[in-house]
């Protein structure tokens, strides 16, 4: 599975690694992803998500069901 947060849509971006001599080489910035299981009372089931740290904060703020609805509306939620 790809390195994309299923709540916020954060994904790998590229940039430059800059050495002491100011030489620039390509590198990747990866999101801080965690695989977590959440219980959704409205659906009465467990959901496993790959979420970033910012996604966890969003879930704590909005609630799991509202975060899932927003993520599916934005197209970030990938379910099997």
27 Cβ contact partners less than 8 Å away, ≥ 6 residues apart: 14, 15, 16, 17
* Digit-coded pLDDT (tens) for 6-26: 999 999 999 999 999 999 999
Q: What is the pTM of this model?
A: 0.85
Q: Which two tokens stand for residue 58?
A: 């969003």
Question: Is the residue at 4 inside a domain?
Answer: no
Q: Which two tokens stand for residue 14?
A: 């590229």
Range of the domain at 19: 13-74
* Digit-coded pLDDT (tens) for 19-75: 999 999 999 999 999 999 999 999 999 999 999 999 999 999 999 999 999 999 999
The torsion angles phi and psi of 67, rounded to 5 degrees, stand at: -65, -40
Residue 54: CATH number of its domain: 2.30.170.40
Question: Is the residue at 47 inside a domain?
Answer: yes
How many domains are contained in the chain? 1
């Amino acid at each position: 599975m790809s390195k994309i947060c299923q709540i916020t849509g954060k994904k790998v971006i590229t940039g430059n690694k800059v050495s002491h001599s100011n030489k620039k080489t390509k590198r990747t910035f990866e999101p801080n992803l965690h695989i977590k299981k959440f219980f959704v009372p409205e659906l009465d089931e467990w959901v496993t998500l790959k979420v970033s740290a910012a996604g966890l904060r969003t879930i704590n703020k909005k609630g799991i069901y509202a975060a899932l609805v927003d993520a599916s509306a934005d197209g970030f939620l990938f379910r099997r």
